[in-house]
Structure 1
Amino acid sequence: MNESNEDVYDIDTASVPRGDGIRDLTLTDRWNTPLGKPNGGYILATMLRGLGEELGGGDPLVASISYLASPETGAAELRTRSLRMGRRVQTGTASLWEGERHVAEMTASFGDRAGGETRELGSPPALRPPAGCIDPREHGAPGGGLFDRVDYRIDQVPGFFVGKPSGDPTMTAWQRLRDGREIDFPALALLCDSFVPPVVELGEGFNSMTVQLTVHLHRRPCPGWVATRLTTRHVVNGFHEEDCELWDEDGNLVAQSRQLGILL
């Protein structure tokens, strides 16, 4: 039986409580990168969902994850711990283990979003509507794994796709979960780390792997596509930063992130 993307996302980010803050889960190959490893955003979404269920608090507000070892598909264990259950903000940690391997460590805060001032000082990327954009899979983008789970639309074909990197490590794209599955907060965290790293536009040898990633989750997006802006401005001693902004189709900033990557 073929599963819809909605089923796949729910199944693949689920974990089962064992007691004492420990949860069992399985990392699948359905979110693998072209390197054959589970995508870092997928790992973050799974850990964020499991920790949120353990804390029983509000919506996730911020999460910071360090990737400690290369993940493998298969059985894993999530070890969670509450740090503080405040009136407005609840904070905890989650550790991902595969056997004796400590794969990732995350700290996240959850809270109630009701009330408070909202003021937007930025603007979304200037993209054509998704229907008028290009499906990158028709222009050499890889398939399988993550690229079968997330839909992408781009304004123009990036230079590195055709062997001519532009030299400008900036990318914009529309993203959504395949089959139009509703984007919840863990999925927003996933989409902060689900597109090609813009540093590849600097040329050969400029691929990367995430070392640390922090996401700020502002609001649930309206139904539809999510506009994505990715930039790298600093490459130092083989490491680089990558900034991401996610905007919904109503022009609201829904999430943003910064990560430290290491060049491969």
Structure 2
Amino acid sequence: MAQAAQAIIGDSEFDRDTAVTPRAAGVYDAELSAGWTIFNAVNGGYLLAILGRALGEALPHPDPFSVSAHYLTASVPGPAVIRTQVVRAGRTLSTGEASLFQYAEDGTEIERIRVLATYGDLNALTDEVRTSARPPAIAPIEQCFGAEDGPAPLPGGSAITERLSIKLDPATVGWAVGAPSGKGEMRGWLGLADGRDADPLSMLLAVDAMPPTAFELGLKGWTPTIELTTHIRRRPAPGPLRVSITTRNLAGGFLEEDADVWDSADRLVAQSRQLARAPRV
């Protein structure tokens, strides 16, 4: 049932590592790669992209418009199975559900993440834009800092940084040298390390690919996502993305992160909000 290029697996590592193989109607096998982990857990945006690919296969429309995910337990590298269900298939939009499962040592299935998503065709959108949003103020990419410019790797591992090209604005890297700003902001340029241009599927990764804002709040450690809702607004133009993430409120051990993603044509192409657990100090 899949349409468009979303279901076509290319030569990019991202495409290979988000591949799904049909097992039965609406059921897909996947292999969660260890290359997309941080603090030994599989990254939430990468998981969202895998589920997004499976839903793109199952639904009659090609592109994610709105994807809401609840992360139930931490995923680990290895085999997984995705079960999808078509909730409604309309003329311009379709809605589906998907859950990703892994297996315990005794063979018991463990549900890791559950998604409800609406898909459509981004190519069919009108060109009308009325907005007060503006691209974030980020230093030129040559003045920003990548993982190669930082100190020692994150404790617990950060394999995902080898698959991404992240250049952080100097104003948001104080955490890396022991001087966090306390502002709860993270801004920078983002792309895939192998040069693959962004598309609607990879933007599901982009909204959760930057270092957590908790680092600039002076907190260190894993910041697990509880819930993440992403809106894909446009098909991005070729070139690096600019990502701005802010946290305004950390309370009761939880924080929110609001992300805006802009393309090289200065268009707001994706937005998200997530609730995450603050690192335990």
Q: Does 1:261 align with 2:272?
A: no
1:96 paired with 2:100, answer yes
User: Shift of residue 87 of structure 1?
Assistant: 1.2
For residue 206 of structure 1, report the CA deviation from its aligned partner: 7.3
Matched, 1:42 2:46: yes
SS at match of 1:165: coil
**Residue 174 (structure 1) shift:** 0.4
CA contact (8 A) 1:94 1:105 kept: yes
Distance 2:125 2:27 in 1: 33
Q: Which runs of 4+ in 1 moved over 6 A?
A: none
1:85 aligns with 2:89: yes
Q: What one-letter code is carried by the residue in structure 1 that aligns with 2:137?
A: A
Match of residue 148 from structure 1: 162
1:76-133 per-position Cα deviation (integer Å, ceiling 9, x unaligned): 0000000000111100000000021100000111113324432232001112332332
Residue 116 of structure 2 is aligned with which of 107, 121, 143?
Answer: 107
Q: By how many angstroms is 1:6 displaced?
A: 4.4
1:123 corresponds, among 119, 129, 134, to 134
Whether the 8 Å CA contact 1:55–1:90 is kept in 2: the answer is: yes
Is the Cα contact below 8 Å between 2:36 and 2:160 reproduced in 1? yes
Q: Tell me, yes or no, if the aligned pair for 2:214 and 2:220 is still in contact at 8 Å.
A: no
- Deviation, 1:141, is 6.5
Alignment of 1:1-264 (within 5 A): 6-33=11-38, 35-99=39-103, 100-113=109-122, 114-116=124-126, 117-140=128-151, 142=153, 145-156=159-170, 158-204=173-219, 208-264=223-279
Partner Cα separation in structure 1 for residue 268 and residue 136 of structure 2: 11
SS in 2 for 1:251: coil
How far does residue 134 in structure 1 lie from its aligned partner after superposition? 2.4
> Offset at 1:221?
1.5
Between stretches 51-60 and 243-252, larger displacement belongs to 51-60
Which residue identity lines up with residue 146 of structure 1 in the other structure? I
| Alpha-carbon distance change, 115 to 191 in structure 1, aligned in 2, over 3 angstroms | closer
Distance 1:141 1:176, change over 3 A: farther
User: In the aligned structure 2, how far is the partner of 1:194 from the partner of 1:17?
Assistant: 27
Structure 1 CA distance for aligned equivalents of residues 166 and 217 of structure 2: 22
Q: Percent identity?
A: 39
- Code of the aligned partner of 2:144: C
Contact 2:12 2:194 survives alignment (8 Å): no
Q: Is the 8 A contact 2:138 2:188 kept in 1?
A: yes
User: Partner letter of residue 119 of structure 2?
Assistant: F
Instruction: Give the partner amino acid of 2:20.
Output: S
Point out the more displaced range, 141-150 or 193-202: 141-150
- State the shift of 1:180 in Å: 1.2
- Give the distance between the partners of 1:61 and 1:208, measured in 2 at CA: 26
Does the residue aligned with 2:194 lie in a helix, a strand or coil? helix
Query: 3-state SS of the aligned residue for 1:260?
Result: strand
Amino acid at match of 1:104: I
Q: Provide the aligned C-alpha RMSD in A.
A: 1.7
Give distance in 1, aligned partners of 2:198 and 2:181. Answer: 32
TM-score scaled by length of structure 2? 0.87
SS in 1 for 2:96: strand
- Give structure 2 stretches of 5+ with no counterpart: 1-9, 104-108
Match of 2:7 in 1: none
Distance 1:73 1:207 in 2: 17
